[in-house]
Amino acid sequence: RKGRSRKETMSSRCCSSSGGRRSRLQRTTAMALLKVASSQFQFEIPPGMFEQMHGMGGGGHRRQREAAPQGITEQFNWLKATEWNWNSWRNVRFGADGRFEAPTPDCERGGCRWTTDEQYIYVRWGDAGLHKMRPTKMAAEPETKLKGKRVADGEKCQATFVSKDERDEDLDLYEVLGLDDEADQKEIKKSYRKLSLKYHPDKCKGEVEVGEDMMSCEKMMNRVNLAYEVLGDEEKRILYDTGGLESVKEGVDEPQQGGMDPFSMLFGGGGGRRGGGNGKRGPDARVELAASLEDMYLGNEVSAQISRRIVCRKCAGRTDGKCASCGRCPNEVRMVQREMRPGMLVQQQEEVPSKEKCKIEETTLKARVEQGMDAGAEIKFPRMSEQMPGQIPGDVIMTLKQKPHPRFTRKGNDLYMDMVISLKEALVGFTKHVDHLDSHKVTVQQTKITKPGEVKRIKNEGMPIKDFPSERGDLFVKFQFKMPNELSQAQINLVNDLFPVSSSSSS
């Protein structure tokens, strides 16, 4: 397979190439070589040379490009998960997710897709361009053929039905469990328990009807187990939602030392998981969350709204229904193998257009501010950062920021406040009441002379201590005097009588 030249590969996608084209190619190549020899290393590549070499049509001019529709119409659901022989060349496959699989580099990199309209099948085959075909029969049966042409040059193409085999990758795991995309973990677990009892080997023998097909109980039990293994784990579920089972297989973490990995067993693998969960995780997003001192004192749920990119599940190639508001996802980076020289393959990173669709969504996060939390405390929302296809989203990490309070200032677990008293209260004492953060009354009492700037400590009237809310810090009250603007002569005389000036003070 690898030994075939690019020319052979591209030419074999359509029906037999004409001998005239091969002759034109030979003449064109000869003329190019002649120019090289006679122009002292200055040469010109004739127009259309590369197009002819790669089977893309003669003369270097393609026909007007025909636009392919988006999505797969309902009447062509029978075509999903089917294998066909293309032009008596090799087998190709129409994946259930709209992926077109063929033994060519562009398709192996995920660059080939198929869509339909009411009558035709459209295959976007990488470098070979768009192919438009029509089935002889609307059924996946041995007599069915797909006939059509390549849009670029009109060359006829044909595919013959081989088989229909739904792989694990073709399954909709939500449908396997009879759930919708928004199901929570409680619903997933409930459905799994119900189906695992239904298809248990002790209760289910032989075959059962699944949709329009018959399937063995053992196979259905395996599918139910697979669906629960993926959807029952939040990280595997997000990988599945954004990139399918292929992303789940690639994205699970390496196993711990020892033991057999049941996830790999479900996929038919060995004892260890395939790798690199860390490389499939996106970056965290950090935001500030403003909370009042009352929220931190009492504990409260505080809502915050963020805008983030999400992947539109099952919207690749579709623009209808829920996919109408979805657009193109950012390019993806993939590892590909390249042949540097014969027998030497290297792995390189390559940026490729994403086949998935994304949109910006307003998401409301409800943060639980616990009693005693302080400014700078972090509240984490796992996997709620921006999504990328086939990647576990990072976390949204909210950092608490305290709003200013009109009365209290917080320092650690203690509260501080200023209290203004009159000159009379400073001299003869007083009893005052202060509304605390939960509206209970705190009594502040002085029975002696209060000095300017004096601070009174009231124990256990500060902030609750986090994780130990029955314990509290202290409240510190600093006294400020409110002095009269002026005194009458009678008041002055009275003060002089009450506070005579001693001879030592006057000297």
pLDDT in tens, 299-355: 999 999 999 999 998 887 677 778 888 998 988 877 666 777 777 777 777 787 887
Q: Residue 289: which pLDDT band, with cuts at 50, 70 and 90?
A: very high
Task: Answer with the residue of higher pLDDT: 276 or 499.
Answer: 499
**Per-residue confidence (pLDDT) for residue 209, from 0 to 100:** 81
**Per-residue confidence (pLDDT) for residue 391, from 0 to 100:** 85
Q: Which of 275-284, 331-340, 482-491 has the highest mean pLDDT?
A: 482-491
Query: 9-18, 206-215, 385-394: lowest mean pLDDT where?
Result: 9-18
For 428, residues 6+ apart whose C-beta sits below 8 A from its C-beta are none
**Per-residue confidence (pLDDT) for residue 319, from 0 to 100:** 75
**Per-residue confidence (pLDDT) for residue 284, from 0 to 100:** 94
Contact 90, 82 (CB under 8 A): no
For 136, residues 6+ apart whose C-beta sits below 8 A from its C-beta are 143, 144, 145, 146, 147
Question: Is it the case that residue 506 has pLDDT exceeding 70?
Answer: no
Looking at residue 128, the DSSP 8-state letter turns out to be G
d(CA 453, CA 256): 62
Looking at residue 486, the DSSP 8-state letter turns out to be -
Contact 80, 96 (CB under 8 A): yes
Task: Answer with the residue of higher pLDDT: 350 or 493.
Answer: 493
Burial 109-146 (b: 16+ CB within 10 A, else e): ebbbbbbbbeebbbbbbbbbbbbbbebeeeebeeebbb
Q: 25-49 pLDDT, tens per residue?
A: 555 555 554 444 443 333 343 444 3
**Per-residue confidence (pLDDT) for residue 272, from 0 to 100:** 37
**Per-residue confidence (pLDDT) for residue 406, from 0 to 100:** 96
Question: Is it the case that residue 63 has pLDDT exceeding 90?
Answer: no
Question: Is it the case that residue 265 has pLDDT exceeding 70?
Answer: no
Q: Is the pTM of this model over 0.75?
A: no
Query: 131-145, 153-167, 403-417: lowest mean pLDDT where?
Result: 153-167
